[in-house]
Structure 1
């Protein structure tokens, strides 16, 4: 809402903002959130304004816009965004809104243009957002310099494109430098998206993330995934046995020999990178555990790289193997509706039908995503009941969920300008 609307109408969410802050400040840390956080329309709007419009989001991959004029579009709540490759390889991001009468400029998901031209009245913008043409109809005193596209903060690292709509987005450069280092073996500029899927889940976005942050449910729900995945993220996990620790040590020695980064790196609770081996005898997340793509990525020679897991809150998790990379992003579209996008990336020279079979490579995560969708939707249906009340998380099996809710609570309170919850005082979450 702009300043004039705010002055004339006030903020209709102000009572909900105060109530939200109070619920977070008084909640039991190791319990799930109160019901409104999962199904209330007002709280959903607060999430969009204070989390998704202020934090850093993964908009896409640099390989999706390889050359000048290539663009991709996305929708963040009510905000259409365009990300485009400009001169000298620079990546720009803008609100996908013409400065004339507000029409969307680009209406396709991806494409390539020489200039950005509004289909409505042909206002024309340079790839860096400058207004180049508005027609003589605007009058001789019309100053085009005042009507460039509204920019969105953008940074790139390790093949990922990050955007933030905040005026002053949170610090992220330390994580991005580390991400560059860990992604170096993959040569991400020479990759391509082999497969992309979009799944609509009838559940709040936080339930989707909570489900991802624990493998407590895996044994009963993900038979395909557990043919290759070892659920532990670190040898310090209290459930990790000696056989797992020995497997990690042997894998790390092989990775060291090839100069493949793998050590656990965390940046508060928002970002984490760690490489963990897959089940012994498997090298990729396929049904048989064999390579999904015959052509390995970047400078990689050994297909047995396990899975490098990258977490980026509020909305992404990733698995990087020797033969392909999986990128998952979560996009809220309503208090009880969320889009999950999955991308499978391979070497740009890999040939479909020769180096990889699409159905074979996507099978495990198609099944897993659909299983998770059902779990999240049933979770949502139960939470909507008058019988729901916050329940306790397991401190061992669900510590990742506790971490996510801690991060979410801290960021929401911070962005609302409220005092932190007592249990979060002194906790560094950025």
Structure 2
């Protein structure tokens, strides 16, 4: 479902007129123009999370994703390097790979069999004539980087700086040894809500007590457990946890981007529980990496606009969102375990996945009802709770600041 924006009100004007610390004007959550502006100014220009590197375990492994109008393929080459390309044949534009994932020794267009190496070079194009130069028809590359076992891409010609995130994320996830993990389960759902509503919902637990009975067995909905102002500024319980982690050389203290585009910190679960399970006990008997205790809590990492993640001692859960339309968002979740963990022996899939399968579906219902209400002409922006919804305020301030800057620059250039 889309909503026709008022022709006289631009996205820049809507952002300029928004009330601080309030939800956004209606058009920004459902208008076609706002959606196109979001794609052009954010999704086509920022680093986006693709998935874990263990999703590409061998030469020729690939995954595909759709970022707005751009189909993208990410694959592992014979040199073990992970690369990304526009999933478009250089002959007549056919998508090279239609499946969401798989393994191919070469990238072969199904239309006329133009064949590309895994580094993007055109190897074969039948009957193209003597003057044809295959070196001019390599696949178009997309910026791609592996940060400690997490793959990010950027569609921009010149991507934004990623050095600070790369340094911190690589260090913080190192104890989870993501390169030595495997995907135990994957879920992909479509939430009928704007991507900002999906991310807003994730950035607060104001709703958790009323919506997430499974998650709240182990994850506290007390805002003091997630609101942190610095590496030495948090609740006493978190500071004690960080001190314990420091003694074990386990990176845990709060670190963030100045504009809050990303942040990470390791926080304890309630009552020294071990994992996001119905019992509170570890779901996997074989720990990941070098995390020293079962009750080390969750390393929480988010990155706007596309991802939030939990890294626990026994498993990791990584989330990716992609906008589909003004009021539809794809949410993909991977559950990671140690590469040698055996299902039925080291873990039970039901125990591993139940809490977040429940939580994802509950969040879907919340977001969809939120979107339905916003589609009403009676909707008007309401205030955020400064204590319960600080994370939402960070998101919306980041979004509005970035969009205003880029839209104003675009307008000045025109």
Report the TM-score, using the length of structure 1 for normalisation. Answer: 0.89
Which residue does 1:425 correspond to in 2? none
**Superposition pairs for residues 258-407 of structure 1, below 5 Å?**
258-268=248-258, 269-407=260-398
Q: Note if contact 1:234-1:264 (Cα within 8 Å) is conserved in structure 2.
A: no
Given that residues 211 and 376 in structure 1 are in contact (C-alpha distance below 8 angstroms), is that contact kept between their aligned partners in structure 2?
A: yes
Distance 1:151 1:17, change over 3 A: farther
Match of 1:149 in 2: 139
The SS at the match of 2:118 is: coil
Render the CA deviation track for 1:80-111: whole Å, top value 9, x for unaligned: 11001113221110001000000011122222
Query: Residue 33 of structure 1 corresponds to which residue in structure 2?
Result: 24
> Any conservation in 2 of the 1:27–1:33 contact (CA below 8 Å)?
yes
Deviation, structure 1 residue 254? 3.1
- The question of whether the paired residues in 2 share the 8 Å contact of 1:238 and 1:396 is answered with no
1:146-204 alpha-carbon deviations (Å, 9 max, x no partner)? 11101101111121000010111111121111111011111111101101101111111
Match of 1:183 among 173, 177, 187: 173
Separation in structure 2 between the aligned mates of residue 28 and residue 348 of structure 1, nearest angstrom: 49
1:255 to 237, 245, 266: 245
The residue that corresponds to 1:426 in the other structure is: none
Cα pair distance change 1:354/1:234, threshold 3 Å:
same
Spell out, residue by residue over 1:378-408, the C-alpha distance to the aligned partner (whole angstroms, 9 max, x if none).
1111111110111111111111111101111
Structure 1 Cα separation of the partners of residues 205 and 226 of structure 2: 16
Aligned-residue offset at 1:281: 3.3
CA distance in structure 2 between the aligned counterparts of 1:219 and 1:312, rounded to whole angstroms = 24
Cα 1:306–1:120 change in 2 (3 A) is same
Match for residue 148 of structure 2? 158
In the alignment, which residue of structure 1 is the partner of 2:197? 207
Contact 2:228–2:254 under 8 Å retained in 1: no
Cα distance change on mapping 1:99 and 1:30 into 2, 3 Å:
same
Unpaired runs of 5+ residues, structure 1, are 1-12, 421-430
Contact preservation (8 Å) 1:65, 1:71 = yes
Following the alignment from structure 1 to structure 2, what is the Cα–Cα distance between the partners of residues 129 and 419?
A: 33
Kindly tell me: are residues 381 and 236 of structure 1, through their superposed partners in 2, closer, same or farther at Cα, counting changes over 3 Å? closer
Give the counterpart of 1:414 among 394, 405, 413: 405
Would you say the 8 A contact 1:233–1:276 is kept in 2? no
TM-score normalised over the length of structure 2: 0.92
Look up the match of 1:8: none
Question: Tell me, what secondary structure is at the counterpart of 1:88?
Answer: coil
Distance in 1 (CA, whole Å) between partners of 2:144 and 2:109 is 22
How far apart are residue 235 of structure 1 and its match?
Answer: 6.7
How far apart are the structure 2 equivalents of 1:400 and 1:172? Answer: 22
- 1:255 is displaced (CA, Å) by 1.9
Q: What whole-Å deviation, never above 9, does each CA across 1:346-399 have from its counterpart, x for those lacking one?
A: 100000011111111111111111111111111111111110111111111111
How many pairs are equivalent?
Answer: 403
Q: CA offsets, 1:9-53, max 9 Å, x none?
A: xxxx9x979711111122112111111111112221221222111
Which structure 2 residue ranges, 5 or more long, are not aligned? none
CA shift, 1:338, in A, is 1.1
User: In the TM superposition, what whole-angstrom CA distance separates every residue of 1:297-348 from its partner, at most 9, and x where no partner exists?
Assistant: 0122311110110010002111111000111111111111111111110100
2:57 match = 66
The 5 A counterparts of 1:217-236 are: 217-231=207-221
The 1-side partners of 2:197 and 2:337 are apart by 30
| Residues 230 and 277 in structure 1, CA contact (< 8 A), matched pair in contact too | no
The 1:161–1:233 alpha-carbon spacing in structure 2 relative to 1, beyond 3 Å, is farther
- 1:3 — aligned with what? none
Q: Structure 1 residues 238 and 186, CA, compared in 2 at 3 Å: closer, same or farther? A: closer
RMSD, matched Cα: 2.2
Task: Say whether the 8 Å CA contact 2:51–2:320 is kept in structure 1.
Answer: no
Q: Distance in 2 between matches of 1:119 and 1:273?
A: 42
For 1:17 and 1:154, the matched residues in 2 are separated by: 39
For residues 342 and 90 of structure 2, what CA distance do their matches in structure 1 show? 42
Please list the CA deviations of residues 123-160 of structure 1 after superposition, one character each: whole Å capped at 9, or x if unmatched: 1111111111112x211111111111011011111210
CA contact under 8 A between 2:88 and 2:96: conserved in structure 1?
yes
